[in-house]
């Protein structure tokens, strides 16, 4: 294996956590596949899409929280650190947690792609693996580059078994565990 992979990370996860603690507030760091990475700050459309998803979840599942910007332990053996755009959980799931939470109780991770050179690798390749390895039941990828949504579900052996992709404007019924139906016509307003 080459340096910087999950088996031989560029630094111990504890060193990454210390680096992340000392980073300025304007910098969001992640530790994906053994490498530290900067996650871009959201632009206006990114923030608007997140708020739209938040409102849908609150209206349809008021018994759950869609919490933005949660730091979670991902990948095999929880050695990765991802800063999600949001996670869907039971109310008060993160009470008493520190900066990086275990994924127990997380029903869905949500990521909205940004317009940076690392989006393809980070959101479309690495995070589906990391979230599946952490046994997060559903990963919703809202892909602004393709105007699509992908609903990854049924994690098994570190991979999601299902990953249907829908165009913006489609109506999406999530697995029963999530219990939400999204009419995504509104996303067309956020085409970049």
Residue 144: pLDDT above 70?
A: yes
pLDDT digits (tens, 9 = 90+) for 12-29: 888 888 878 888 777 777
Using pLDDT thresholds of 50, 70 and 90, give the confidence band for residue 7: low
Task: Report the residue count for the chain.
Answer: 192
Residues in Cβ contact with 159 at an 8 Å cutoff, skipping those fewer than 6 apart: 128, 129, 132
CA distance 64 to 161: 25
Question: For position 104, what pLDDT does the model report?
Answer: 94
Mean per-residue pLDDT over the chain, rounded: 88
pLDDT per residue over 33-48, tens digit each? 878 777 777 788 999 9
Q: What is the mean pLDDT of residues 127-154?
A: 96
Say what the pTM is. 0.85
Q: From the centroid of its chain, how far is CA 27? A: 17
Any residues with CB less than 8 A from the CB of 38 and at least 6 apart, and which? 27, 28, 29, 30
Superfamily of segment(s) 42-190: tt1808, chain A (3.90.1570.10)
Confidence of residue 2 (pLDDT cuts 50, 70, 90): very low
Residue 168 reports pLDDT greater than 80: yes
DSSP state of 72: E
Q: What percent of the chain has pLDDT over 90?
A: 63
* pLDDT at res. 4: 46
Backbone angles phi, psi at 17, to 5 degrees: -60, -40
What distances in angstroms separate CA 175 from CA 17, 62, 101, 112, 137, one per listed residue?
34, 17, 24, 20, 9
pLDDT tens for 75-110 read 877 788 999 999 999 999 999 898 899 999 999 999
Residues whose CB falls within 8 Å of the CB of residue 190, separated by 6 or more in sequence, listed in order? 45, 48, 49, 52, 144
Burial 78-117 (b: 16+ CB within 10 A, else e): bbbbbbbbbbbbeeebbeeeeebbebeebbbbbbbbbeee
Determine contact, residues 85/47, Cβ cutoff 8 Å: no
User: Which residues share a beta bridge with 68?
Assistant: 86
Q: How far is CA 68 from CA 102, 111, 117, 146, 185, in A?
A: 16, 10, 23, 23, 22
């Amino acid at each position: 294996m080459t340096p910087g992979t999950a088996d031989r990370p560029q630094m111990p996860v504890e060193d990454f956590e210390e680096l992340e603690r000392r980073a300025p507030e304007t910098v969001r760091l992640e530790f994906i596949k053994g490498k530290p990475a900067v996650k871009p700050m959201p632009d206006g459309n990114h923030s608007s899409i997140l708020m739209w998803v938040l409102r849908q979840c609150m209206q349809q599942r008021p018994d759950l929280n869609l919490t933005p910007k949660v730091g979670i332990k991902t990948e095999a053996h929880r050695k990765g650190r991802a800063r999600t755009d949001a996670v869907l959980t039971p109310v008060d799931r993160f009470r008493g947690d520190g900066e990086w939470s275990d994924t127990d109780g997380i029903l869905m991770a949500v990521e909205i792609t940004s317009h940076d050179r690392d989006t393809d690798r980070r959101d479309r390749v690495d995070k589906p693996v990391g979230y599946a390895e952490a046994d997060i039941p559903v990963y919703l990828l809202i892909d602004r580059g393709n105007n699509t949504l992908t609903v990854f579900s049924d994690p098994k052996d570190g991979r999601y078994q299902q990953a249907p992709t829908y165009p913006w404007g489609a109506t999406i019924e999530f697995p029963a565990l999530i219990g939400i139906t999204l009419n995504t016509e509104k996303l067309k307003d956020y085409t970049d």
